[in-house]
């Protein structure tokens, strides 16, 4: 079954028939391979889990194409998260608010690439871990998390909290199952991320 996405594209429940297939790791990284790659970065997965309270996120069995993000990349989510995102965007539009998807699903390898790129640019591991969860631990792996923005505003920036879009999300996101993952003073060692929201069933 297909449905229209927030930007008019089709929600496609089969990632084998959609642009979502290209976002998958091929071949998939096993848990042992992931932990080995983490050690090469200087991250002990078990210690990181104990320290942050974060868990390794399982990748979804299927992804749904939910349109394009701000950068025209495929936006892929689980079917329930995609439907909730679509419905929430429609509700926001009725209130005169435009929501912008910055990033959805990311594979383990994609998150590893983010870390390797930042390290190559001279950032320290400690610096990176305050703004990015360790590969394997990012909620983006679940297909249920979104970085949300507002057209014309800088992406993934704390200034998002001063927008009408963020004010609307604070009032209404929970109605659609979306919750702010990293509020101020969160216990996970991640900076305040007003843009990062996760859909949760129930």
Q: Which residues contact 190 (CB under 8 A, 6 or more apart)?
A: 52, 130, 131, 133, 182
Tell me the mean pLDDT in the region 90-101: 98
User: Residue 138's domain is classified under what CATH number?
Assistant: 3.30.1380.10
Mean pLDDT of 146-173: 98
What's the pLDDT score for residue 44?
A: 98
Count of domains for the chain? 1
pLDDT at 5: 44
* Poorest-pLDDT segment among 6-10, 20-24, 79-83, 175-179: 6-10
* 4 confidence band (pLDDT: 50, 70, 90): very low
Range of the domain at 70: 3-199
Cα(41)–Cα(25) distance, rounded to whole angstroms? 19
Per-residue pLDDT at 11? 65
Omega within 30 of 0 (cis) for the link into 27: yes
Q: What is the average pLDDT score of the chain?
A: 92
Q: What is the mean pLDDT of residues 134-157?
A: 98
């Amino acid at each position: 079954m297909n449905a229209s996405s927030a930007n008019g594209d089709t929600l496609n429940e089969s990632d084998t028939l959609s642009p979502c297939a290209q976002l998958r790791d091929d071949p998939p990284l096993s848990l042992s391979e992931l932990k080995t790659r983490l050690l090469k970065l200087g991250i002990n997965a078990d210690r990181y889990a104990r320290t942050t309270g974060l868990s390794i996120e399982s990748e979804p069995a299927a992804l749904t194409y939910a349109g394009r993000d701000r950068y025209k990349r495929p936006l892929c989510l689980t079917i329930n998260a995609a439907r909730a995102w679509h419905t929430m965007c429609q509700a926001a539009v009725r209130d005169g608010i435009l929501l912008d998807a910055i990033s959805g699903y990311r594979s383990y390898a994609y998150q590893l690439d983010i870390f390797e790129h930042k390290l190559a640019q001279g950032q320290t591991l400690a610096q990176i871990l305050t703004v990015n969860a360790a590969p394997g631990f990012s909620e983006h792996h679940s297909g249920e998390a979104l970085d949300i923005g507002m057209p014309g505003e800088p992406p993934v920036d704390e200034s998002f909290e001063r927008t009408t879009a963020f004010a609307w999300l604070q009032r209404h996101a929970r109605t659609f199952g979306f919750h702010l993952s990293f509020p101020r003073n969160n216990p996970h060692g991640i900076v305040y991320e007003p843009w990062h929201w996760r859909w949760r069933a129930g």
